[in-house]
A and B are shown apart, each in its own frame.
Chain A
Amino acid sequence: MNGRRYPAMAGILAIAIIAFIANLSFGASAMSPRSVVAALFAFDPDNYDHFVVLYQRLPRALIAVFLGAVMACGGAVLQGLTRNPLASPGILGVSSGAMLFVVIAAFLLDVPSQGQGVAAILGGFFGFLNCLLVTRLIVSSKEPHGLAFILSGAVLSMLHGAIANAIMLSSPSRRSDFLSWATGNINHVYVERLRDFWWLGALGLVMLLAMARPLTLITLGRDKAASAGVDVTRITWLSIGAVVVSVSVAVAICGPIGFVGLVTPHIVRPLVGASFRLALPANAVLGAAICLLADLAARSAFAPHVLNTGIMMDLLGGIVFAVIVKRYYLSTSERGAWR
């Protein structure tokens, strides 16, 4: 395994670079990778193609990179902490909580754009704590605890979404502005939020990376980590805090786009291994690549119509989710006859 890790990392990085350039090349007017590279490194203000690349496609691509990196790392960490292959920020109520708070801030409190980012962070914590609370309520001791956690998250996400929708209905004119964001979409209009808040996401990722070793130990078992000298409680809450903050920022920028956080860690794990020191960067890069490709597919698969990136991601993610459940939870040993 060890020998394969670095080539795998290099492969992932190559895919991400190709995805990045492809994302910039295709669109309403396709252009050659060469002119894309030219636009990036030798910008000519008079060239219309260069203008499109730099001011329309590049912001989208940067948002996709940010989103993918943050979500994939968040998913990997949450899967490790809960020791549950189905955990991800989109499922444990973080994304939907952040979205709900943004909608409340914008529609009910008339908070300006910057404040909405702060609301998203508060909402992310709200959503995650809600999920913990509901799990406590529904779990009866015999059920596998992890699945109940996932389930209450999924149910709560729907509830948060429903309430946000109801609030949005109260003001139809502003609703149309928010609708595509609320279903999860990458839109270059929101690039100013990326400019304002990217450092929070980056800070979260750096924190996670700094905690890579104790986090890896916690994945092996909380007791084992504690006996190895890890302050399990503190590391757990610090890392959850980092995940919630960075994910909430991503939600403030492009709405609740799920599944990339769920799926990416499952692709990375067999290639790079479970140690977070390598797995986190690999997740970040691969998550970015997946988002770039999903964004590209959403823009071009149903041309001339443009699909929201979130919808494209749900379509693919739902299928992968089913495969993961089937593989991890449906053992063949308990199959019975119906007679």
Chain B
Amino acid sequence: MRETVTTVPVLTCDRLTVAYAPAARPVLNDVSVGFATGRFTALVGPNGCGKSTLIKAIMGFLPHAQGEIALDGTALRNIPRRDLARRIAYLPQENHCPDHISLAELVELGGYARYSLFGGPDERDRSLFADALTTVGLEGLAARPVNDLSGGQRQRAWIAMILAQDTDIILLDEPVNHLDVHFQYSILDLLRALTRCGKTIVAVLHDLNLTAAFADDVVMMRDGRIFAQGRTADTISAESVRDVFDFDADVFARGGRLVCLPAHAPQAPA
């Protein structure tokens, strides 16, 4: 750990150890990490290092987890699901939607925790939903079944649903994977803008350049452990990239931004 983050962490994991079966080798090993209020934290690391597992463990999906996860100091396991859903939203890596769900219904489901048994969204919810659709650029498609949308549109539909959940913490597992460059940037830009309204964003990202461009903080993981965490500019370096990814990279600042490129790049084609 290079530097302690100055803002107060809203979500903390303390000595978290997770295995997928009782006697299996742990996938996360003694992980302690805190996510600061109002900041965009990127989780990076090689495939299989436990990034997704960390997010799932925070969501309470994994039964064989030891250690303490706390939200504002309250142990997460003591918070009822419904109250939790008003604080934390989660977007999995892969999403499936049955044929009968339309985009409008998917976005409406975002507000699920706020509805009464027989009730539905109120006026405030509705304007929130409309804003969410506009934000991801899907206004006008609300009546279409989600499965009839294209791959990129579908991913944006799910992000609209997460926005509609209107929580102060959002956990996303590779949110921009299936998107083209334009939407990669606009979605990450949006997430960054949300942090200015006090929301806390935690996202698993693969692209170090996107991470460097958008994340305030970075948590680098390797083999189920935290390798480094801290401010992006301090944490991503040629050394840390080599140690975490076994990959020689040139990391340099250009126009005030970090850029990460392979050190032994092949000759550019003539």
Give the contacting residue for B62; candidates A140, A142, A336; CB below 8 A: A336
With A140-B147, A142-B96 as contacts: A339 and B20 at CB distance below 8 Å: no
B266: min CB distance to chain A, Å: 26
B113 interface hit (Cβ, 8 Å): no
A173 interface hit (Cβ, 8 Å): no
In the complex, chain B residues whose CB is within 8 Å of the CB of A336: 61-63
B149 interface hit (Cβ, 8 Å): no
Scan residues 56-101 of chain B and give those whose CB is less than 8 A from a CB of chain A: 60-63, 77, 81, 96, 99
In the complex, chain B residues whose CB is within 8 Å of the CB of A142: 96
Binary contact readout A250-291 vs B (1 if CB under 8 angstroms, 0 otherwise): 000000000000000000000000000000000000000000
> For B20, B21, B60, which residue has the most chain A Cβ atoms within 10 angstroms?
B20
Nearest 5 pairs of A and B residues by beta carbon: A337-B63, A336-B61, A333-B20, A332-B21, A339-B60
Would you mind naming 5 contact pairs between A and B with Cβ atoms under 8 Å apart?
A: A333-B20, A335-B20, A336-B61, A339-B60, A339-B77
Chain A residue at minimum C-beta to C-beta distance from B94: A142
In the complex, chain B residues whose CB is within 8 Å of the CB of A333: 20
Interfacial residues, chain A to chain B (CB-CB below 8 A): 140, 142, 332-333, 335-337, 339
In the complex, chain A residues whose CB is within 8 Å of the CB of B21: 332, 335
> For B21, B61, B77, B99, which residue has the most chain A Cβ atoms within 10 angstroms?
B61
A267: min CB distance to chain B, Å: 28
Give the contacting residue for B81; candidates A140, A332, A335, A339; CB below 8 A: A339
In the complex, chain A residues whose CB is within 8 Å of the CB of B61: 336-337
In the complex, chain B residues whose CB is within 8 Å of the CB of A332: 20-21
Cα–Cα, bound, A140→B21 (Å) = 32
In the complex, chain A residues whose CB is within 8 Å of the CB of B63: 335-337
Chain B residue at minimum C-beta to C-beta distance from A332: B21
Binary contact readout B187-218 vs A (1 if CB under 8 angstroms, 0 otherwise): 00000000000000000000000000000000
Cα–Cα, bound, A337→B56 (Å) = 11
Give the contacting residue for A337; candidates B60, B96, B99; CB below 8 A: B60
Cα–Cα, bound, A332→B20 (Å) = 7
B158: min CB distance to chain A, Å: 13
In the complex, chain B residues whose CB is within 8 Å of the CB of A337: 60-63
In the complex, chain A residues whose CB is within 8 Å of the CB of B147: 140
Chain A residue at minimum C-beta to C-beta distance from B56: A336
Cα–Cα, bound, A337→B81 (Å) = 12
Cα–Cα, bound, A335→B60 (Å) = 12
Cα–Cα, bound, A55→B61 (Å) = 64
